[in-house]
Chain A
């Protein structure tokens, strides 16, 4: 190894590191000890190396980089670990619902279908009563009302509770529910009526057979439909639905 070769090799030498253990560098260092010029060059070289290292090491990471890396990784892990758990949770919930439907459907579905039919009838009749309507027959004679309905083949052989039978009628109309005629008998309770209105109490009568889920005999079913309080009951072969703008207690005085 000559002088120039030793300089080239020592160019890679970093004092204070394990570089001196490298056989080539060790040999070059040994040569430098015997060569004053090479020794002088090596001292300068080591000083430059330290300066370069110090210069590069002035590079500092921005404040918060470490925390950002850790927090973003934690968030990522949370997302990643959440996803399978969420999928499992949703899958378990769906499975539970499907299982419940499979078990309960035979019991629940017929009842709901029938209940829906009754609810639809009740809601439809209530909306008729609440919106402006025209009576087919305007009269305060209850016999004329019954006769008219009979003439039109609408339910006319209805049986009124005693208090309701004593309430003044104002007329009647015929409505339809799934092809079946519904007798609409209009009453006046005697309270002041809003302008343009002739009734404030309405009774709907339909053949019970047309609404398979009619409330069982002896049961009176009170339901508020929008502004109308309704009560439904069955008697004989008829389903009755009475409604007024008031509360349950208001209706009870007509039953």
Chain B
């Protein structure tokens, strides 16, 4: 039972990756801290309902993502920006520069992606989550995850390098 999981150990294991995920979504330190803390708070209240301890990581990321979506519904702080508009605003990062990519550049590029790609891409790069885990966390079919990742990564590469990577730039198949 998940209720046997030691809370402090759980926090020690997951607070950093959860914060990274939260920050990649919210792009605000305060919001990211709140999301991370809220996730553990929900775990403390409901975590005992989780039957399979091996699903703890997925449960935490799912919860954080839901909290983020909930907070976004409550506050429309992040206006939607079309990729084509964003691409025009972005400074092109040369391929050589990509090798020295820092967090700010990575997050800037992530933030320029359509919202629907941001979470899977963040989980893909930040946590090395498997496609199945990403599908569970985002509660979408595996095929949809791969589709969104393909398009999201393609656009991310395009934004950062200024060159197409072979990924089709078509409207997402939702």
Q: Which A residues have a C-beta under 8 Å from some C-beta of B?
A: 4, 7-8, 11-12, 14, 17-19, 22, 41, 44-45, 47-49, 51-62, 65-66, 68-70, 72-73, 76-77
Contact of B7 among A12, A47, A52, A70 (CB under 8 A): A70
B98 touches A48 (CB 8 A): yes
Q: Smallest Cβ distance from A22 to chain B, in angstroms?
A: 7
Tally chain B residues at the interface, Cβ within 8 Å: 48
29 inter-chain pairs at a CB distance below 8 angstroms, sorted by A residue, are A7-B165, A11-B154, A11-B167, A12-B153, A14-B128, A17-B130, A22-B131, A47-B99, A48-B157, A48-B160, A51-B100, A51-B101, A52-B101, A52-B160, A53-B126, A55-B101, A56-B106, A58-B106, A59-B103, A60-B16, A65-B37, A66-B11, A66-B16, A70-B11, A72-B41, A73-B7, A73-B44, A76-B41, A76-B44
Q: Does B166 lie within 8 Å of A7, measured CB to CB?
A: yes
Could you say which residues of chain A place their CB within 8 Å of the CB of B150? Answer: 8, 11-12
Complex: how many Å from CA A235 to CA B166? 118
Which stretch in B17-25, B51-59, B74-82 binds the other chain? B17-25
Q: Which 8 A-B pairs have the closest CB atoms?
A: A55-B106, A58-B103, A55-B101, A7-B166, A61-B19, A59-B20, A56-B125, A51-B101
Cross-chain contact A72 with B37 (CB below 8 angstroms): yes
- Measured CB to CB, the closest approach of chain B to A180, in angstroms, equals 69
User: Nearest Cβ in chain B — how far from A4, in angstroms?
Assistant: 6
Q: Which of A8, A18, A51, A65 contacts B167 (CB 8 A)?
A: A8
A14 to B149, CA, bound (A): 12
The residues of B with any CB-CB pair to A shorter than 8 Å are 7-8, 11-12, 15-16, 19-20, 23-24, 29, 33, 36-37, 40-41, 44, 95, 98-103, 105-107, 110, 122, 124-126, 128, 130-131, 146, 149-150, 153-154, 156-157, 160-161, 165-168
Known: A65-B33, A69-B36, A73-B40. Contact between A56 and B126, CB under 8 A?
yes
Chain A residue at smallest Cβ distance from B103: A58
Instruction: Give the Cβ gap from A248 to chain B, nearest Cβ, in Å.
Output: 65
Closest-by-CB residue of A relative to B101 is A55
CB contacts (< 8 Å) of A22 on chain B: these are 131
**Docked pose: A21 CA to B162 CA in angstroms:** 31
B95 in complex: contacting residue of A44, A53, A72, CB < 8 Å: A44
